[in-house]
Amino acid sequence: MIKNIYKFAAASQNEPIVFGACKPGYSNQQVSDWIKFMKNQNIQRVCCLLPKTQLAL
């Protein structure tokens, strides 16, 4: 069982392509851990929907 620390889940029950997840933390290590987690889930592309105010942090 995968520890789901990012609320990683399919967009709907039968969705094979689109998934959602919480953003990583703000430190370089937290971002690296998030990327590693996504790669381990075979995620190949990410669409970021965060506003500029959150991205600036």
Tens-of-pLDDT digits for all 57 residues of the chain?
456 789 999 999 999 999 999 989 889 999 999 999 999 999 999 999 889 888 877
Which tokens go with 29?
């290590």
Q: What is the dihedral of CA 9, 22, 27, 29, to 10 degrees?
A: 0
Using alpha carbons only, what angle is made at residue 55 by residues 40 and 11, rounded to the nearest 5 degrees? 45
> Tokens standing for 55?
């991205």
Q: Which pLDDT does position 3 carry in this prediction?
A: 65
pLDDT of residue 4: 77
Residue with tokens 């105010």, as numbered in its chain: 53
**For the chain, what are the domain ranges?**
9-55
